[in-house]
């Protein structure tokens, strides 16, 4: 079992260093991204979509050139364990998802995904072994098409100085920066 260009063990080390711990979601995420990568025509330039905030975005960032900071990874908070790699211009791509219908005979993975037992009670080593054994068999794939222009990050454009905090911000956000307009996480 390999994950992208890594052996399973190498990927475990990479995940531990980046994410802080080896979570089942990162390992299934690795399988998802691995299968999506294998579905790409060779040399294709692609961007990524991830349908959950949890774990999976880190697998995409570690295994593809798509990151949050370079704008090539779009995260949608749908709570679904699914990722899509799509060609940058045509928008044609492959969506790979955790196929929960396949978990009937995978009790440990099923119990983890559907939170059937408290996290503290689960045998994490056994669960990770089961994920490795399952490999791509617990995943489904679909051909999809997106509108790449609709997913591209808006350009920041011209700057303005916020009359309240005095900091520079994108003028297109309005007459004040979004922090001063009520979005600030900082307590007074």
Place of tokens 């990524």: 48
The CB-of-97 to a second copy minimum distance in angstroms stands at 7
Residue 79 touches a second copy, criterion: CB under 8 A: yes
Backbone angles phi, psi at 157, to 5 degrees: 70, -160
Q: Which is nearer to a second copy, 37 or 75 (CB)?
A: 75
* Helix or strand (DSSP H, E) at 81: none
* Binding test (CB under 8 A) with a second copy, winner from 1, 8, 22, 179: 179
CA 49 vs. chain centroid, Å, equals 7
Distance CA(157)–CA(170), nearest Å, equals: 6
Phi then psi for residue 159, to 5 deg, are -100, 155
CB of 180 to a second copy, least distance (A): 10
Beta strands at 92-98 and 82-87: parallel, antiparallel or unpaired: antiparallel
List the interface residues with a second copy, window 27-66 (CB under 8 A). Answer: 29, 49, 51, 53-59, 61, 65
> Using the rule CB under 8 A, which residue among 80, 88, 122, 132 binds a second copy?
80
Asked if 122 is part of the footprint of a second copy (rule: CB under 8 A), the reply reads: no
Cβ atoms of 184 and 165 within 8 Å: the answer is no
Residues lying near a second copy in the complex (CB under 8 A) are found at 18-21, 23, 25-26, 29, 49, 51, 53-59, 61, 65, 67-72, 74-80, 82, 84, 91, 95, 97, 100, 113-115, 144-147, 150-151, 153, 156, 158-159, 167-170, 173, 177-179, 183, 185-187
């Amino acid at each position: 079992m390999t994950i992208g260009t890594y052996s399973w063990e190498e990927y475990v080390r990479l995940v531990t260093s980046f994410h802080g711990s080896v979570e089942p979601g990162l390992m299934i995420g690795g399988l998802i991204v691995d299968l999506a990568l294998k579905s790409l025509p060779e040399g294709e330039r692609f961007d990524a979509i991830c349908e959950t905030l949890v774990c999976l975005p880190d697998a995409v960032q570690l295994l593809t050139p798509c990151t949050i900071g370079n704008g090539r990874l779009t995260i949608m908070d749908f709570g679904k364990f699914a990722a899509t790699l799509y060609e940058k211009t045509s928008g044609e791509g492959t969506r790979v998802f955790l196929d929960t219908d396949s978990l009937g005979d995978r009790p440990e993975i099923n119990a983890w995904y559907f939170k059937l037992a408290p996290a503290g009670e689960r045998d994490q080593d056994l669960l990770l072994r089961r994920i490795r054994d399952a490999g791509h068999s617990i995943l489904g794939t679909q051909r999809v098409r997106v509108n790449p222009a609709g997913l591209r990050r808006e350009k920041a454009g011209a700057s303005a100085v916020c009359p309240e905090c005095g900091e520079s911000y994108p003028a297109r956000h309005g007459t004040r920066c979004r922090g001063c307009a009520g979005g600030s996480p900082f307590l007074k």
